[in-house]
Amino acid sequence: MKQRVLPEQTGIPCTILRGGTSKGVYFHEADLPPRGALRDRVLKRIMGTPDVVQIDGLGGSRLITSKIAIIKRSSRGDADVDFTFGQLEVEQDAIHWSGNCGNISAGVGPFAINAGLVEVVSPVTVVRIYNTNTDKVLIAHVPVRGGRAKVTGDFTIDGVPGTGAEIFMDYHLTLGARTGRMLPTENAVDTLELEGGDRIEVTLCDVGNPCAFFRASDVGLTGSELPDAINGNRPLLTRLEDIRRKSAERMGFSRGCSDRSAEATGGPLLVLVAPPAEYGNMRREQVLASDMDLRARLVFFNKCHESMAGTGSMCTAAASRIPGSLVNQALGAPPDGRDTLRIGHPLGIMRVRVKARDANTVGGVAFDELGFGRTARHIMEGTVYVPTSTFTDVAAVSAGKA
């Protein structure tokens, strides 16, 4: 672990990088403590968690800016780099390792290229990324110029100002990311019994990250709500957390959890879906019904995403092609012959590529292409400083001295 030392503080090399519509702090694995309580404590201190504004760290007070990536050269034959994703909560003293982030994943290829971890091939370098969280390989197609990841281009993403060079993220190998199956229950639609005896229909799907899909109307929403309307509705959030817990139990990775442990809150992502309709986005622009195939609002850690998570978009795209799923039912028109899905989210439209075909599999579909375009940009490289007591206090606790 490489460190610089100042009086009472220890420095760790890092890179701040925007990947898609998220921003995170990227590390070489060798620059951090080994996996465990000490590493978790150091990373929380770096980001300023827990604190509502993360004022004493690098986090930006939102879940989409409270993310970290840990990267090293891979020893696997099917991957170039290993990537571990960490999601830090803002107000809660917690870091979660149970899933992946598609937006932060989009920054892994450029990071690896610029750090010399992979051989650069012009004009596009293919970076095979092994995600340790989900035990799956995803593939980044990164444009390069002069031996470095290209930044400028004409590709746009709703939720990111300006344009950039398109990085295509291929997720077709990530089916069953956490449960081992695209449809963990083998059903296109399941019915959950919630607290108080209410029932709700859900589609439980696991591609990129496990997701639980349900109709916005079934929780009293239209599907056009913006994050503040969801985040400020405490009764709604209580109901959504009940849906998440029951979904996690049905998917088999959270049996009866009722606390806020990492596993209890680690998934699935919740996605409210509704048919196309015009709405005003967070930038006060009108999003037309004709520009989308469905509306979606993604909720994780009891907060509504400002746009659409990359892995959530992959799961949404896959579920849209499963006959009878709630996502398929929400489509404005049959997807026959179209290889894209246009998702209306709080900041606009996300377009993802999904090329599906009928297959004799659970769900009745297989995928020849499943991916999305992102942009990424290095923002800063330098040294982040952590109070040295962060290391020594954990050592004392581990030794039973504190």
Residue 226 DSSP label:
-
Q: At 23, list the tokens.
A: 């921003």
Sign of the torsion formed by the C-alpha atoms of 7, 8, 12 and 16: negative
Q: Which residues pair with 352 in a beta bridge?
A: 341, 372
Helix (H) or strand (E) holding 170: strand 167-170
**Which of 342, 339, 330, 320 shows the shortest CA–CA distance to 182?**
320
What pLDDT tens digit does each residue of the chain (402 aa) get?
Answer: 566 668 899 999 999 999 999 999 999 999 999 999 999 999 999 999 999 999 999 999 999 999 999 999 999 999 999 999 999 999 999 999 988 999 999 999 999 999 999 999 999 999 999 999 999 999 999 999 999 999 999 999 988 999 999 999 999 889 998 898 999 999 999 999 999 889 999 999 999 999 999 999 999 999 999 999 999 999 999 999 999 999 999 998 754 444 444 344 568 999 999 999 999 999 999 999 999 999 999 999 889 999 998 899 999 999 999 999 999 999 988 777 789 999 999 999 999 999 988 887 878 888 988 999 999 999 999 999 999 999 886 555 454 443
Backbone φ, ψ for residue 71 (5° rounding): -135, 145
**Which of 36, 33, 89, 26 shows the shortest CA–CA distance to 388?**
33
- The total of other beta-carbon atoms located within 10 Å of residue 392's CB is 12
The pTM score is 0.85
Backbone φ, ψ for residue 272 (5° rounding): -85, 130
